[in-house]
Structure 1
Amino acid sequence: MQSEIRKELLDAFTNAGDDFLSGQHLADLIGCSRTAVWKHIEELRKEGFELDAVRNKGYRILKTPEKITADEIRFGLTTKFMGRNIHYEESVESTQKIAHRFASEDASEGTVIIAEEQLSGRGRMARKWHSPKYTGIWMSMILRPNIPLSKAPQLTLLTAVAIVQAFEEMTDLIPEIKWPNDILINGKKVTGILTELQAEADRIHSIIIGVGINVNQKKDDFPLELQEIATSLYIEKKETVSRAELIRSIFMHFEKLYTLYLQQGFLPIKLLWEGYASSIGKYIKARTLTNTIEGKAIGITDDGVLKLEDQSGCIHHIYSADIEL
């Protein structure tokens, strides 16, 4: 009940913009007492929200905290289901682990687990993902699409497009997507995406998409072995980016693309993805579990599988591989 009041309170402030909202109006809108409204206002202040309170006018939010708590993300959120249920932690082993548990407990679609720090973050093929505190976005999103098992990897590509669109909305940077799950800026990795399933042989129960985004790290925040291959939005933009605002933008773009995908299939997503792809038209090495194939990346199939043409003209379909440009 308390969390629902908080959600409705933040939605009211979001819709009000710069206008004041009286305690009585908030109480009537939410269906609680003015005392309950006041208590939640004080809790927001403790979280770091700066509120203006004027006699006979009411309250308005002037400034939000630097953390990415559920309340901070909800203030200004315009989505219908993405991010409407947020589980926030200061520090976790892995948001993916928590998301798997929540998904098995029937968490609603659009539920997001987000943390300020991951102690054991991981990417594809169990690689470690460096996730320092208060600098990046480390989150896992729970989805429940009614799609065939074979189409689940398409949501990795959809997520990449949504994140790139959010980057473009908030910065003047030019991001590129490296198949299947990396986003690069100036050739360096800024984002990784990890897609995992809870499924039976013929049915998906849930798809859990883990996202790691380097937002405000400085170069010295990365281990030495990553400093030449990884970057952050701060390093490239040379100014701090609001993590909460970026998260809200990602949720908005993701929800639009996901709804489009469920209505029209993968083709509209494919066309957008190819427009951002860094590898299309270039010669690459694709290292699979069994061998290495070299050739020209000529696009992706309607299912999102990478097409690579070798020197003999043979076209290989790459389902999973490490790509080197």
Structure 2
Amino acid sequence: MEKQILQMLRQHGDAYVSGQMMSRELGVSRTMVWKTIEALRKQGFVIDSSANRGYKLVRGPNKLLGFALEVGLNTKAIGKSIVSFDSIPSTIDAAGSLAAGGAEEGTVVVAESQTGGRGRLGRAWSSPRGAGIWTSIILRPPIPPRDAPKLTLLAAVAVAAVLQETYHIDARIKWPNDVIVNNRKICGALTELVAEQDQVKYAIVSFGLNVNQIPSTFPPDVADLATSMRMETGKRLERAEVFTHVMSELDRLYLTFRQDNGIDIMNRWRARSCTLGKQVTVRLRDELVEGIARDLAEDGSLVVEVAGGRLRHISYGDVTILRDMKNGESREKER
């Protein structure tokens, strides 16, 4: 009921909607309409009421609520069902449990905060309450496991595109999953999957996007390495609006991905890369590889030209960019 009434209020914009109209169209009593309006108010929605005109939505809460986010989306594959939490250990784990239980493709898990947020290689990810978008999406693409890394590229491309095209933030992608702005990390993406030998059963595509943090919000060990949309634009942003833009772009790119097996995503990643053409080091488990990042391979791995002109395909590791080989500029970038 909350979702339906919120949808009606949003559809009417600045106009009032009478309780009688909502009662008639929804097939419920006016008392039920009033109780639902009160429930929405308790969740932070500011709703004006007039004895002669009805109800009008003034603004929503500074929270990411599943039913409210669903109302704001017009997507085909992603976000038909959005499960929201106030605080959980990890959206990745919550989405994994839902996927194992048969949740439909496109189900999204989002949390106000995470107590055990994680990034690549099990690293901790700072997820303070109300400051960013901490989310995981359940996908069931008909692809072999070797193509799953392309889903991480897809998430990074979607976020970078929204930052650039909607918020005018010059965002670049450092292989494989970091979205970088002014040499600082603003977003990280991660994909975990359950698969059979030749088929992905489901993938959990997750990302953490820093939206409204200020420098003092970040833990001391990453304060010099991280940034946020607020820090880059100089203004506080509506997270629900950012969420809607990113999910809409993810939806569009994912539908294309299912048709062309990632060709478009790979090209878009190359166009936004801050890694290709640079002198890099890649730290593997027991080896340090140094060379020039030349390209993205068909499976999403990084092609590095090492000493002697030999090409190595790197499927995992920490990349540090040392030098731009096109203009000779030397610049250190931390992981």
CA distance in 2, matches of 1:31, 1:112: 29
Distance 1:59 1:82, change over 3 A: farther
Query: 1:11 maps to which residue?
Result: 7
Query: 1:297 maps to which residue?
Result: 293
Query: 1:78 maps to which residue?
Result: 74
Moved more, 177-186 or 259-268: 259-268
CA distance in 1, matches of 2:316, 2:263: 20
Aligned CA RMSD, in angstroms, stands at 1.8
Query: 1:69 maps to which residue?
Result: 65
Counterpart among 44, 47, 52 of residue 48 in structure 1:
44
Structure 2, unmatched stretches of 5+, are 322-335
CA drift at 1:52:
2.6
Counting aligned pairs with the same residue, the percent is: 39
Matches within 5 A, 1:98-247: 98-247=94-243
2:310 maps to 1:314: yes
CA drift at 1:55:
4.1
Number of residue pairs matched by the alignment: 321
CA drift at 1:170:
3.8
Counterpart among 304, 307, 323 of residue 319 in structure 2:
323
Superposed CA deviations along residues 221-247 of structure 1, whole A, max 9, x for unmatched, are 112211111111112222111111111
Contact 1:178–1:279 (8 Å) recurs in 2: yes
TM-score by length of 1: 0.93
CA distance in 2, matches of 1:92, 1:186: 31
TM-score by length of 2: 0.90
CA distance in 1, matches of 2:65, 2:41: 13
Secondary structure at the aligned position of 2:110 is classed as strand
CA drift at 1:159:
0.7
Distance 1:147 1:20, change over 3 A: farther
Which aligned runs of 4 or more in structure 1 are off by greater than 4 angstroms?
none
CA drift at 1:75:
4.2
CA distance in 2, matches of 1:14, 1:304: 41
CA drift at 1:169:
4.1
Secondary structure at the aligned position of 1:259 is classed as helix
Counterpart among 15, 20, 23 of residue 19 in structure 2:
23
Contact 2:154–2:250 (8 Å) recurs in 1: yes
Secondary structure at the aligned position of 1:53 is classed as strand
Contact 1:13–1:75 (8 Å) recurs in 2: no
Contact 1:14–1:77 (8 Å) recurs in 2: no
Distance 1:15 1:274, change over 3 A: farther
Contact 1:95–1:113 (8 Å) recurs in 2: yes
Secondary structure at the aligned position of 1:226 is classed as coil
Contact 1:266–1:303 (8 Å) recurs in 2: no
Counterpart among 88, 94, 97 of residue 92 in structure 1:
88
Superposed CA deviations along residues 95-123 of structure 1, whole A, max 9, x for unmatched, are 11111111111111111111111111111
Secondary structure at the aligned position of 1:320 is classed as coil
Secondary structure at the aligned position of 2:308 is classed as coil
Which amino acid is the alignment partner of residue 151 of structure 1?
A: D
Distance 1:182 1:236, change over 3 A: same
CA distance in 2, matches of 1:203, 1:241: 40
Structure 1, unmatched stretches of 5+, are none
Distance 1:30 1:144, change over 3 A: farther
Secondary structure at the aligned position of 1:177 is classed as strand
CA distance in 1, matches of 2:10, 2:261: 33
CA drift at 1:14:
3.6
Distance 1:243 1:320, change over 3 A: same
